[in-house]
């Protein structure tokens, strides 16, 4: 309900001396402050206010926030703030380093893994310049976002198939014992989780120099292609993979690609993504923009 009618009902409730006729409508002043802060942030971002975008994305302004308020979600407002700051930076306008870093990290949460890696690389260069606070925390943040994003990107770039009609999103622990082994040349949903095999040597050097492992992998294995391929298709690989707890991280990043818009973007890059026929992508998203069609448009097409 819009704020004015809610306040009107609150005043009516107060004049009656009792609120038993109404469910709680607005908690004054808390909810009023929340609505006011959210509305000011939304309006400032809508007009492209750089200072407001800096304050919003760093949390120094518009601190009262909630996803319960109608309109753009908090994630949408963060994405909008990031776009404003990145555009301002591209124009040569000064952007506070902490805000610019956060803008890169927010932009790296997008559906395009290649573009996400580019934003993470820019965040890393900003961090390496020495202008950011809490550098070690940020270094860890970049690593744990880059690691699964890099795997997804390399898998897709290498021609790997994501078939949402299979159980690929269930994780390797679920896929370890399939009902039957795939025939030669037949897609195997386990391939995504055999990630050392499709990373480049440079990727593996970067990864294993930084990745904290409960059970390390012998460098002689990950540097030798033949030994590595044999390892990732062996029972020892499953034990190593599970000992290091990779399943949640990889399956979560993979499942973030699931959905009509994400599939549209992936296919525009030439990636192999198969979806159930009932998704009816052309009815749900515009193939030119990969954005969802308005509900009325979907209904008319149906």
- Report how far residue 215's alpha carbon sits from residue 204's, in angstroms, rounded to the nearest whole number: 16
Coil, strand, or helix at residue 226? helix
* DSSP conformation letters of 238-278: HHHHHHTT-HHHHHHHHHTT-SHHHHHHHHHTT-EEE--GG
Share of the chain above pLDDT 70, in %: 82
Query: Measured in whole angstroms, how far is the alpha carbon of residue 118 from the centre of its chain?
Result: 14
As given in the structure block, the two tokens for residue 143 are 């690593």
| Cβ-contact 247, 218 below 8 angstroms | no
Domain range annotation of the chain? 1-6+21-81, 82-301
pLDDT interval class at 301 (50, 70, 90): low
Lowest mean pLDDT among 64-68, 89-93, 105-109, 266-270: 64-68
Mean local confidence (pLDDT), 31-45: 72
| pLDDT for res 41 | 82
- Report how far residue 128's alpha carbon sits from residue 121's, in angstroms, rounded to the nearest whole number: 10
Contacts of 18 (CB under 8 A, 6+ apart): none
pLDDT digits (tens, 9 = 90+) for 103-158: 999 999 988 999 999 999 999 999 999 999 999 999 999 999 999 999 999 999 99
Mean local confidence (pLDDT), 77-93: 96
pLDDT digits (tens, 9 = 90+) for 163-199: 999 999 999 999 999 888 888 888 999 999 999 999 9
E strand map for 142-271: 161-163
């Amino acid at each position: 309900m819009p704020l004015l009618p809610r306040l009107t009902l609150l005043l009516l409730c107060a004049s009656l001396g009792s609120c038993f006729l109404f469910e709680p409508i607005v908690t004054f002043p808390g909810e009023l402050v929340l609505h006011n802060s959210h509305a000011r942030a939304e309006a400032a971002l809508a007009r492209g206010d750089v200072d407001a975008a800096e304050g919003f994305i760093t949390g120094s302004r518009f601190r009262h926030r909630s996803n319960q308020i109608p309109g753009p979600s908090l994630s949408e407002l963060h994405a909008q703030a990031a776009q404003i700051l990145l555009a301002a930076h591209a124009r040569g306008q000064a952007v506070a380093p902490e805000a610019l870093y956060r803008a890169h990290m927010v932009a790296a949460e997008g559906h395009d893994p290649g573009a996400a890696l580019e934003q993470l690389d820019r965040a890393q260069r900003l961090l390496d310049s020495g202008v950011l606070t809490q550098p070690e925390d940020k270094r860890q943040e970049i690593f744990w976002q880059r690691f699964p994003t890099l795997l997804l990107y390399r898998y897709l770039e290498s021609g790997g198939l994501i078939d949402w009609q299979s159980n690929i999103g269930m994780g390797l622990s679920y896929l370890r014992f399939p009902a039957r082994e795939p025939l030669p040349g037949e897609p195997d949903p386990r391939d995504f989780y055999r990630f050392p095999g499709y990373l480049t040597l440079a990727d593996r050097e970067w990864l294993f120099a930084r990745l904290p492992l409960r059970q390390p992998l012998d460098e002689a294995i990950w540097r030798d292609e033949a030994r590595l391929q044999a390892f990732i298709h062996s029972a020892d690989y499953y034990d190593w993979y599970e000992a290091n707890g990779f399943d949640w991280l990889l399956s979560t990043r993979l499942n973030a690609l699931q959905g009509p818009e994400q599939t549209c973007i992936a296919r525009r890059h030439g990636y192999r993504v198969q979806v159930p026929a009932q998704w009816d992508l052309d009815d749900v998203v515009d193939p030119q923009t990969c954005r969802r069609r308005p509900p009325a448009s979907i209904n008319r097409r149906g």
